[in-house]
Amino acid sequence: MTPRILIITGASRGIGAATARLAGAAGYDVLVNYVSNADAAASVVAAIESAGGRAFAVKADASTTAGIATIFTAADARGKLAGLVNNAGVVDAKSRVDEMGEARLTRMMRTNIVGPMLCAGEAVKRLSTLHGGAGGAIVNVSSVAAKLGSPAEYVDYAASKAAIDTFTLGLAREVAAEGIRVNAVRPGIIDTEIHASGGQPDRVARVRGMVPMLREGTADEVAKAILWLLSDQASYTTGALLDVGGGR
């Protein structure tokens, strides 16, 4: 039986890693993409394999054409693409818009929207019945920031995720008749390392009280939503923006 490959970008930590572990348990051969932390990626692969699943790590920058080519070439060598999770993303230091520079904005948009669009294009070439594929699913990881705007914090990040939402809706309708479902999850305050990477390691504790459920979410809770959208249980769901934000 030809392996069913699921590509997860930025899968060495946080939501990506949690999704990779669940996907391995669900029977996918998981491509664990990472940029720099080889040990973390190897740990995710080891966890999947120790649970009886199959996975392999691929070092590549999913925001560049060369990196994306590396990812998809590795997937093609291992089996048949079944799906893509566009998870890789960045935040930056808390800032007002009038304090942001071109370098920050370029990095934000290239990583958070240009890269995912290019990855999705490569996935469509392999999944679409128009190109001889058997169909499949794409899940984009957005954020509730897309509808909140994140004023005086990171409007650039929120804008990049709003672009992901619009991209999800457009692509879903574009390829719906070609056997591909395209959806997005919009996590809220989730307890992962991304807050520290943006210089706010205390952010979860600071904003927890703003969530109607009065708690942060976990990476596993988001991962379960992603796995549902990938699965046949969501066979009539496309163009959906699924909030996983505790009511926020």
- Cα-flanking dihedrals φ and ψ of residue 207, to 5°? -110, 0
Q: What is the dihedral of CA 74, 76, 81, 83, to 10 degrees?
A: 30
Residue 86 neighbours by CB distance under 10 Å: 30
CA 75 to chain CA centroid, nearest Å: 17
Give CA separation, 78 vs 10, 41, 69, 223, in Å.
19, 18, 14, 24
Task: Answer yes or no: are the C-beta atoms of 244 and 187 closer than 8 Å.
Answer: yes
Residue 84: name the closest of 133, 144, 41, 37 by CA.
Answer: 133
Helices (runs of H) and strands (runs of E) counted in the chain: 10, 7
Number of alpha carbons in the 13 Å side-chain half-sphere of residue 70 = 16
Tell me the catalytic residues. 157
